[in-house]
């Protein structure tokens, strides 16, 4: 993810721009997708860096739920597509 690479290098402004663009693209989708979960990772890392471990844990847990839900939906669609 470009935004994460920029953030790790300390280029917070451009990273924020990429995160914002990604958020807008994901919001246009009318379904769950794994990218929704990935967008929660920077928030979790930011909260951890600020010492707010409870909020970091909550964001990480939300990311896990979102990614798991998206993966399950993708598997279900593939299963239906193959006539099962």
Q: Each residue of 20-72: pLDDT tens digit?
A: 998 898 888 877 777 887 888 888 888 898 999 999 989 888 777 766 655 55
Q: CB of 7 within 8 A of CB of 15?
A: yes
Average pLDDT on 1-16 reads: 89
Q: Which two tokens stand for residue 47?
A: 């909260």
Q: Which two tokens stand for residue 63?
A: 């990311």
pTM summary value: 0.58
Burial classification of residue 17, based on how many CB atoms lie within 10 Å of its CB (0-12 exposed, 13-18 middle, 19 or more buried): middle
Q: What 3-state class would DSSP assign to 29?
A: coil
Number of Cβ atoms within 10 Å of the Cβ of 3: 22
| pLDDT at res. 36 | 80
């Amino acid at each position: 993810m470009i935004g994460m690479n920029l953030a790790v290098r300390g280029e917070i402004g451009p990273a924020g721009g990429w995160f914002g663009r990604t958020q807008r693209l994901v919001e246009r989708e009318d379904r769950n997708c794994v990218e929704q979960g990935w967008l929660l990772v920077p928030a979790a890392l930011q909260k951890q860096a600020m010492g707010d471990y409870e909020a970091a844990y909550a964001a990480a847990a939300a990311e896990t739920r979102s990614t798991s839900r998206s993966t399950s939906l993708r598997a279900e669609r593939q299963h239906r597509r193959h006539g099962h």
